[in-house]
Amino acid sequence: MKKIGILSDTHSCWDDRFATHFAGCDEIWHAGDIGDITVLNRLKQIAPVRAVSGNIDHGEVKRICPELMIFELEGVKVLLTHIGGYPGKYAPGMLSLLKQENIRLMVDGHSHILKVMPDRSLDMLHVNPGAAGHHGWQKVRTLVRLTLDNGNITDLDVIELRNKL
């Protein structure tokens, strides 16, 4: 069983509540638009991090974070990217990749819109944790936590970070 903290679109913003809400997580996944490398370094002090680069990332973040990751954890095949779309409106080429790789959990960011949607045709869950940073038009910053356990995705929690500047 692995408890996972998920965030996206920090745009160089650090919020001490990330550490509070991700305490006890076995891993943290960042779905791109990280911004400054210090965000990743601080997340790594909480738990091991898997991160992909987004369209605003450059420099060291772009060098160390791929645009897409596919991995298996606790019997769940995961795709982590920044721009992936969502069920019914996937980015070009994404649907065929999801089918080919038999992905069960797709995590992406970019839209700044929190979305948790099943794709029943693929037997897959899509999660966009929304935006954790201040940059953008979102009114509420959000994080997601979930548990992977023996092929199951459970205990999904949405965390709202009020007080957007």
Distance from C-alpha of 84 to C-alpha of 41, rounded to nearest angstrom = 25
pLDDT in tens, 74-101: 999 999 999 999 999 999 999 999 999 9
The percentage of residues in the chain with a pLDDT greater than 90, rounded to a whole number, is 93
pTM: 0.96
pLDDT of residue 24: 96
Tell me the average pLDDT of the chain. 96
The DSSP H or E segment spanning 120 is none
In sequence order, the 6+-apart residues with CB closer than 8 A to the CB of 137 are 112
The DSSP H or E segment spanning 60 is helix 59-64
